[in-house]
Amino acid sequence: MLTPDVNAVRKQLCPTGKLRAAINMTNGLLVTGETADGDPTGVSPDMAAAIADALGVELTLLAYPGPGFVADALLDDAWDIGNIAAEPERAKTISFSPSYCEIQATYLVFENSRFQTPQDVDAKGVNIAAKSRAAYELWLRENLNHANLVTSDSFENSVEDFLTQKLDALAGLRPPLLKQLAANPGTRLLNDSFTAVQQSIGCKHGIPEASAWLSNFVNQSIQSGLVQALIDKHDVTGRLSVSPLYG
C-alpha cells in the first residue's frame, strides 16, 4: 500500500482530475523516442505513467525543451509532477522525491591537456564550456572555486564553444560526451566524474501528503525492480543507473 489515503494524495496532486507530467525533452537517456501521436517515450514518461496508474487517473504528458523550462513552468502552475534532476537551486520552488536513477557527469578535454581528474580542472584561469541551467552546470556553479564557466543555451552550442574557442574543458553527462569523444579525434574523456545527476520526481511545495507519497513510490519502484526494468526496456542499460535505495 503506497499511502494510507490515496484519495487525499490524488486531490493534492491532481486537482484537474488528470496527472499533468512535465517531461524534459533534452535528456536523450530518459526520453528515447515518441509515439505515433508525438508523445514522448522512455524511462521518464513511463515513470509518469506508472504514477498515474497507481493513482488511478489519466495522464497528460507535457513536453518542455529543457529542465529550466520545466522549473519555470511550475510558477504558472502548469504541471503536477516534473521529471527533472534534483538540484538545490530548483529545490527552492520544487519538492523532490529521492532519485530513481542517475547519470555521471564529467569533462571532455583535449588530448594534450594536463588535466587527469575533475579536481584538476578547478584551477585559476581555466575555462569550462557548459550548457546553462543543466543540473551539472548548476552543480558546478555552486562548487567550483577557481575555474570559470562559459555557458550557452544548448549542449550543442557548448560543444561548439569548446572546439572553436579551444576552451580547457567541456562539461556534460558521460553518454553524450562519449559521442563527442568519438566524433572529435584529439580529445579524451576524464575517467572520474565530478557529480552524478540524479533524476527525481518533483511537485510543488505545500502538499506534504503528495510529496511523501511520491517519495514512497520512488523507493518502491527501485525495490520492486521497476526502474531497472524500464532502463532495460528502453535500451539505456549501462548509461543510466538505478539510484541507491533511500532511507
Instruction: Examine the fold and report which residue of 195, 217, 232 is the final residue of a domain before the chain moves on.
Output: 195
In a domain, 111, yes or no: yes
Same domain? 183 vs 121: yes
What is the tens place of the pLDDT at every residue in 152-173?
Answer: 999 999 999 999 999 999 999 9
Instruction: Write out the residue range of the structural domain in which residue 231 sits.
Output: 6-101+198-242
Number of domains making up the chain:
2
- For all residues of the chain together, what is the average pLDDT? 94
Same domain? 45 vs 78: yes
Same domain? 122 vs 189: yes
Same domain? 190 vs 213: no
CATH number at residue 83: 3.40.190.10
Question: Taking residues 229-247, what's their average pLDDT?
Answer: 89
Residue entry with cell 486537482: 15
What is the tens place of the pLDDT at every residue in 65-85?
Answer: 999 999 999 999 999 999 999
In a domain, 247, yes or no: no
What is the tens place of the pLDDT at every residue in 16-63?
Answer: 999 999 999 988 899 999 999 889 999 999 999 999 999 999 999 999
Same domain? 232 vs 152: no
Same domain? 204 vs 94: yes
Same domain? 29 vs 87: yes
DSSP string, 2-64: --S-HHHHHHHH-TTSEEEEEEETT-TTT--EE-TTS-EESHHHHHHHHHHHHHT-EEEEEEE
**Per-residue pLDDT, 217:** 96
> If pLDDT is split at 50, 70 and 90, which confidence band does 5 have?
confident
Q: What percent of the chain has pLDDT over 90?
A: 85
**Per-residue pLDDT, 163:** 98
Retrieve residue 60's grid coordinates.
Answer: 497528460
pLDDT at residue 244 is higher than 90: no
pLDDT at residue 1 is higher than 50: no
Same domain? 43 vs 61: yes
In a domain, 149, yes or no: yes
